[in-house]
Amino acid sequence: MSDRLVRLLGLGARGRGGRVVIGVSGVRAQLQRDALSCVVLAADASPRTREKVERLARARRVPVLMGPVAERLGAGLGRPPVQAVGVADAALARGLVGPLEE
């Protein structure tokens, strides 16, 4: 699942229109604006990061997925290590969350 997740996030990041938000501060800001459909946290995200993002996502009823470690998540997005990624595009979010619900 995590290879597929990273590939889909990479496609979303390469597209136009801010379909994917990269980084904890951007994810938190977009959650506060109710602009995200799901959030992916790195498996090795710090407890503080995890708590802040998960609490905000829960309040907004946004699903939180556990992704690969930050290094691998960032590499899939062409970035340095990334602890959190937000998905604004509803169709992309369904593609990520859907397989987990089956």
CATH number at residue 79: 3.30.1330.30
Q: What is the mean pLDDT of the segment spanning 38-47?
A: 97
In a domain, 98, yes or no: no
In a domain, 97, yes or no: no
Token reading at 8: 């889909």
Residue type for position 18: G
Residue-wise DSSP of 8-29:
HHHHHHHSSSS-EEESHHHHHH
- Span 64-77, pLDDT tens digits: 999 999 999 999 99
Residue 53's domain comprises: 2-92
pTM: 0.89
In a domain, 51, yes or no: yes
